Amino acid sequence: MLVPGYRDCPAEPWDPGTPVDPGEAEDFLRRCYIENPRLGPVEPRLAIVRAQVAATGTYVHTTDELTHGARMAWRNASRCIGRLYWRSLMVLDRRRARTADEIYSLLVQHLQTAGDGQIRPVISIFAPAQPGRPHARVWNEQLIKYAGYRTENDQTVGDPRQVGFTEAVQGFGWRGKGEAFDVLPLVVETPAEGVRVYELPERVIREVPLSHPEFGWFAELGLRWHAVPAIANMRLTIGGVHYPLAPFNGWYMGSEIGSRNLADRDRYDLLPLIAERIGLDTSRESTLWRDRALVELNRAVLHSFERAGVKMSDHHTESQRFVTHLANEEKAGRRVPADWTWIVPPISGGITPVFHRYYDEFDQRPAFYLDDEAAELAKGCPRRTR
């Protein structure tokens, strides 16, 4: 997906009680003001920030700083192939929201703003962490995810990755239909109200039924996928200030759905079914039945989203655009952190232009991070309650 990669991302240690590092704040502000000359000289602003940090342990970003900082974080996301579009990120300042109801309402607005066809990249940034104080967060890995249910014969209906989280929300009273594509509720936790569970309204859940350009039987499988990949549990760090609740979305690259979500053995594991319906020889691996089934599944995803008028990229086009991004950043005098294992697509990687390259992976801020606690919550394993 064309947003910073999160799946199986190693968690980054973080102590929310630690005051802002003045050096990190100054480094960000100098780069922000150099890249945005219209903001004027940076020295007066630095004096204000130093005083705020000395007095409170933190400081408050202006709207311009918040906006550019979020875009820089996307630009620095080493696992994202879609960074060519970093300047187009729409930044919604939600720092005043405090109650669970307010946060839920603004998350619904986020999905509405992202759209249901011509998807736009959006981030909603809620209140920053304050040194020594608890903060609000969303337990969900993404704003829209499908439930996973264990059956009596130890099988799974739905997404196996979400079994733990599904059981956790069932513990709060939620009951799904028990089907393969049940959208999970949002779990919002605030310091004052604890955990609240909310159903997403159907009007903001755009789903695409999957069909195939040649195989009529494919539509009979009843497969579908949602249109907006909105990551909800990564922390945004800008100039030493941490935003634990900053959900963001791009749009899907087809292989994320066709080669991972629907194909991985620990996810929907559809390749054996697709191969059987096509009539492939699955008696041995050397027939390459998995490869052939994978290509047809990816064709179905791309075909279906295009037919539905929902924005999606293919892995060949996006790989070429990432090379363009590398050239643009080189001209701007900026290094580009990149994780080869994520930049290279999970299908036909060797015939894309991003394969035959070496990349440097390094921590460059502003950035997005997955925290230990956020990772546990997404699995349905909270390590504490408030």
Give catalytic residues, as residue numbers: 80, 83, 251, 256
Let me know: does 118 contact 126? Beta carbons within 8 Å.
Answer: no
User: What phi and psi, each to the nearest 5 degrees, are found at residue 164?
Assistant: -60, -45
Let me know: does 68 contact 35? Beta carbons within 8 Å.
Answer: yes
User: Which amino acid would we find at residue 190?
Assistant: T
Let me know: does 25 contact 143? Beta carbons within 8 Å.
Answer: no
Residue 31, classed as helix, strand or coil, is helix
| Residue 135 to residue 191: CA distance in whole angstroms | 6
Contacts of 163 (CB under 8 A, 6+ apart): 148, 149, 150, 156, 380
| Residue 363 to residue 354: CA distance in whole angstroms | 21
Strands 122-125 and 90-93: parallel
User: What phi and psi, each to the nearest 5 degrees, are found at residue 171?
Assistant: -65, -20
Let me know: does 310 contact 226? Beta carbons within 8 Å.
Answer: no
Q: Distance from first CA to last CA of the chain, Å, rounded? A: 33
Residue 55 CB-density burial (10 A; 0-12 exposed, 13-18 middle, 19+ buried): exposed
Q: Is the dihedral of CA 225, 230, 232, 235 positive or negative?
A: positive
Strands 241-243 and 224-226: unpaired
Let me know: does 255 contact 347? Beta carbons within 8 Å.
Answer: yes
| Tokens 């789903």 -> residue | 207
Point out which residues pair with 142 in neighbouring strands: 231
The Cβ of residue 198 has, within 10 Å, a number of other Cβ atoms equal to 17
| Residue 70 to residue 366: CA distance in whole angstroms | 7
